[in-house]
Structure 1
Amino acid sequence: MSEKSWDRVPIDAQSIDAPLSRAAVFLVLTVPEGDAALGKVCATLDGLADLVKTVGFRDLGARLSCIVGIGSALWDRLRLGRRPLELKPFAPIRGARHDAPATPGDLLFHIRAERADFCFEFERLLLDGLGDAATVADEVCGFRYFDARDLLGFVDGTANPTGPDLPASALVGGEDEEFRGGSYVVVQKYLHDLGAWGRVPAPEQEAIIGRTKLDNVELDDDDAPRKSHKTLATIVDEQGAEHDILRDNMPFGRPGRREFGTYFIGYSRRLWVIEKMLQRMYVGEPAGAYDRLLDFSTPETGTTFFAPSRPTLEALVEAAQARIKGGG
């Protein structure tokens, strides 16, 4: 592991390190004004672990899990005290040709399981419990597509960190001790123009992505006139150190509505890593040489959250409940 601070990493960092599941729900909610709504949100978060058990006991092999992320505005409204060092709203990006919008979101629930019915039941009970204390801003049901491919036909998440590199890339460490074990989360819902993509010859598709389509071999584009998606999404700092993020992207779609997409969800120890990755994709490196994948994939949403470690989340919710009940 590259960073010494991780010799004391907490194990219970929600379930960020869970392996890729066969099904997932990405649920983004907004919370209305008022202490009544905040109180119900806190009660729901307080009972989240029990809800996972309630649904998950039917088949432990389904490996039901749920990660909750809190948005910047809700963090302030709950008066949770000091914020994680980099927590802030998603910054919209305006490129020469493509833009990345910022969209509302106070809470993120990333629900995963090996069975879609478990995700469905968990989400149903979760929303029933919240009632009018939350409004659905976005809801996407993802599925694993063949051998972890996206709907463009390429294997997704190949560069994900594994083993001891995973917490060093995805979880906050000693640089922000109070929030050790948490993670910054950025989500974007992309819609694909599969018709236009299908008319692109396979070798050109591979040059755009930066990998071969059939066997997922990385391509060298050092001398290419335009950098690939793979290269633009690779972040190296001024000291030459590469910074990874953990992606748990999922395909989604409704063929009857001609809707085909990828839900991007990135977990990172440092928010600036994802922000720089998106800047390189949309603005280009050099400026103007944007990610050509954006000619076929359009972002519909963009929201940032912080997912605290489980013990930290429990402590934050308990403190927020006490303040709300005390009228403070």
Structure 2
Amino acid sequence: MSALRGTARLFSRARPLFSRNVSTRPAGQVGRSLAPLVLGSALAGYGVYKYMKSEESMAQLWVPSLHAAGAVESQPSVFSQGKNHALYLWIYVKPEANSKEVAKAVAKLQKYVDQVTDPKMRDEEDEIWAGVGFGPNFYKQVGGKVKQDFNYPHRKGNLGDMPSSGGDIFIHAKCNTPSKLFELAQVVMKNMPANSVESFEDIYSFVYKNGRDLSGFIDGTENAADDESRQNIAVEKETGGSYVITQKWIHNLPVIDREKDKTLESWVGRSRPDSTELSRKSITSHVARMTGGNGWQQAKPVEIVRQSMPFGTLSSDAGLFFIGYAASPQNHEYMLDRMVGARDDSNCDDIMKLSKNVKGTYWYFPGMDELKKFQ
């Protein structure tokens, strides 16, 4: 391969890594940068670099690491941003299955990613950022240890329930090419030990109106803007692990269609066109519930890295697959308690007037060093 072609491929691979910082919003709103103009300065100051020898392509020569120098490495899905589609693969394992063999199979996730997208050829359109998480009971069975309890209780409020659905294995993968995500799900399920899976659900999400929820509101407004900030929020420093919440929300589209913008905005606490926080909002608005009060730009007591995206079809159910990463499960606990009136006061979140939570649980996404122990 000529040096010119190799250099071009290097730019193609490098650009999505740098452009992840462009937007605080979900996938689909990341601008396209001119990577050749920024590559020099990025290489000089971005952080740790991995040297990879290859006679095939200069694309493999230097690959920037998103982790700060000395940081314990987390999985690729944890705080990366900027893809147009996602796979949420929720797996229940049979009680009689060999849990260690199951863990060994899914711990090879990055090898499955390489099967779907050739490391020597992939670019920003077909590259996949993927991670695997474990439910609390399953993780104990395979000898995994965590610093914090992450059991997910059933919650009930005046506006609805938040069921505790459990689960053993969860795969979160992101890509600009949806067929690659379907293919990855096929590879993962094919490599599960025979007769080990009791049931599973694979959900595929998409960007809607340049990063809006199906309700029409911009999603992820409060996400931290850069990788370092998101890493600090999402990653447990000692382990590289992350505590993850997943919830399946089914929207009441007829309610969303018939309600006036003013009503919907009062429930959310933001304007629908541009997501500006309302200076005057109800204590039951979603913003007020998440920040601990209805004050203007009130300081948030906890933060998470949202990676939620719309999913579904008009002929069946459609809504939001909510997924968030945090360095502590207590960040999630605070927010969920506030939504159902189980903390500070008895008020519930008005967002539950337009959407119903039908499934939810917590997972632990171990750091890369922890995950390798299962291989």
TM-score by length of 2: 0.74
Does 2:211 match 1:154? no
Q: Residue 306 of structure 1 corresponds to which residue in structure 2? A: 364
Q: Residue 287 of structure 1 corresponds to which residue in structure 2? A: 345
- Aligned residue type for 1:229: H
Q: Residue 319 of structure 2 corresponds to which residue in structure 1? A: 261
> Are the aligned partners of 1:232 and 1:285 in contact in 2 as well (CA < 8 Å)?
no
In structure 1, distance between residues paired with 2:166 and 2:344: 31
Q: Residue 41 of structure 1 corresponds to which residue in structure 2? A: 102
In structure 1, distance between residues paired with 2:257 and 2:300: 36
> Are the aligned partners of 2:244 and 2:363 in contact in 1 as well (CA < 8 Å)?
yes
Name which of 7, 24, 28 aligns with 2:90.
28
In structure 2, distance between residues paired with 1:120 and 1:54: 13
Q: Residue 191 of structure 1 corresponds to which residue in structure 2? A: 250
Q: 1:46 to 1:288 in 2, by over 3 A?
A: closer
Secondary structure in structure 1 of the residue aligned to 2:315: helix
> Are the aligned partners of 2:251 and 2:319 in contact in 1 as well (CA < 8 Å)?
yes
> Are the aligned partners of 1:72 and 1:88 in contact in 2 as well (CA < 8 Å)?
yes
Q: Which has the larger radius of gyration?
A: 2
In structure 2, distance between residues paired with 1:255 and 1:15: 28
Q: 1:242 to 1:8 in 2, by over 3 A?
A: farther
- Aligned residue type for 2:93: V
Secondary structure in structure 1 of the residue aligned to 2:262: helix
In structure 1, distance between residues paired with 2:251 and 2:198: 26
> Are the aligned partners of 2:74 and 2:241 in contact in 1 as well (CA < 8 Å)?
no
In structure 2, distance between residues paired with 1:98 and 1:147: 30
Q: 1:204 to 1:30 in 2, by over 3 A?
A: same
CA deviations over 1:143-174 (Å, ceiling 9, x no partner): 1112111100011011012322211111112x
CA shift at 1:79, angstroms? Answer: 2.2
Superposed CA RMSD: 2.1
> Are the aligned partners of 1:188 and 1:265 in contact in 2 as well (CA < 8 Å)?
yes
Gaps of 5+ in 1: 1-5, 319-328
- Aligned residue type for 1:234: T
In structure 1, distance between residues paired with 2:289 and 2:178: 33
TM-score by length of 1: 0.84
> Are the aligned partners of 2:155 and 2:162 in contact in 1 as well (CA < 8 Å)?
yes
> Are the aligned partners of 1:87 and 1:184 in contact in 2 as well (CA < 8 Å)?
no
CA shift at 1:228, angstroms? Answer: 1.7
- Aligned residue type for 2:372: E
Does 2:289 match 1:232? yes
CA shift at 1:208, angstroms? Answer: 1.1
CA shift at 1:281, angstroms? Answer: 0.9
> Are the aligned partners of 1:105 and 1:303 in contact in 2 as well (CA < 8 Å)?
yes
In structure 1, distance between residues paired with 2:213 and 2:325: 19
Name which of 137, 153, 168 aligns with 1:73.
137
Q: Residue 143 of structure 1 corresponds to which residue in structure 2? A: 206
Q: Residue 182 of structure 1 corresponds to which residue in structure 2? A: 241
> Are the aligned partners of 1:188 and 1:300 in contact in 2 as well (CA < 8 Å)?
yes
Does 2:329 match 1:271? yes
Secondary structure in structure 2 of the residue aligned to 1:44: helix
State percent identity of aligned pairs: 25
Q: Residue 324 of structure 1 corresponds to which residue in structure 2? A: none
Secondary structure in structure 2 of the residue aligned to 1:69: strand
> Are the aligned partners of 2:135 and 2:166 in contact in 1 as well (CA < 8 Å)?
no
In structure 2, distance between residues paired with 1:186 and 1:306: 9
- Flag as ranges the 4+ runs of structure 1 deviating above 4 A: none
Does 2:200 match 1:200? no
